[in-house]
């Protein structure tokens, strides 16, 4: 399993997906063999998530927001479709999909 991991790390570094850096903390990575024989790396982010600053503001009152918008003299619709191409999202025309998928490399 170690040779597969070293090969995967080298491939990811060569493509620029990963780079070696110093960090104040690390997340444990678990290696799992897939049925196909390929190596799957999984990062346990529990400790990293424990270190994040939680958002303590309450969720906005959606009913109040809808009432305020319905009474407003002017309304605006923000078109975010142009921004989808900036982040490598692939827009699909088939199937029912609620949000654009991210391109995943494995």
Question: In terms of residue numbers, what domain contains 25?
Answer: 21-51
In a domain, 66, yes or no: no
Cβ neighbour number for residue 44 with a 10 Å cutoff: 11
Contact 34, 40 (CB under 8 A): yes
In a domain, 37, yes or no: yes
In a domain, 61, yes or no: no
Give the pLDDT confidence of 33-51 residue by residue, as tens digits.
888 888 888 888 887 777 7
In a domain, 63, yes or no: no
Count the residues in the chain.
106
User: pTM higher than 0.85, yes or no?
Assistant: no
Domain count within the chain: 1
Q: In the predicted model, is pLDDT for residue 97 greater than 50?
A: no
């Amino acid at each position: 399993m170690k040779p597969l991991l070293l090969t995967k790390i080298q491939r990811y570094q060569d493509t620029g997906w990963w780079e070696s850096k110093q960090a104040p903390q690390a997340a444990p990575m678990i290696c799992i063999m897939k049925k196909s024989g390929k190596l799957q790396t999984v990062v346990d982010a529990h400790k990293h998530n424990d270190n994040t600053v939680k958002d303590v503001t309450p969720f906005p009152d959606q009913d109040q927001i809808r009432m305020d918008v319905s009474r407003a003299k002017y309304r605006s619709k923000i078109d975010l479709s142009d921004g989808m191409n900036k982040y490598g999202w692939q827009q699909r025309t088939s199937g029912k999909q609620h949000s654009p998928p991210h391109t995943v490399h494995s």
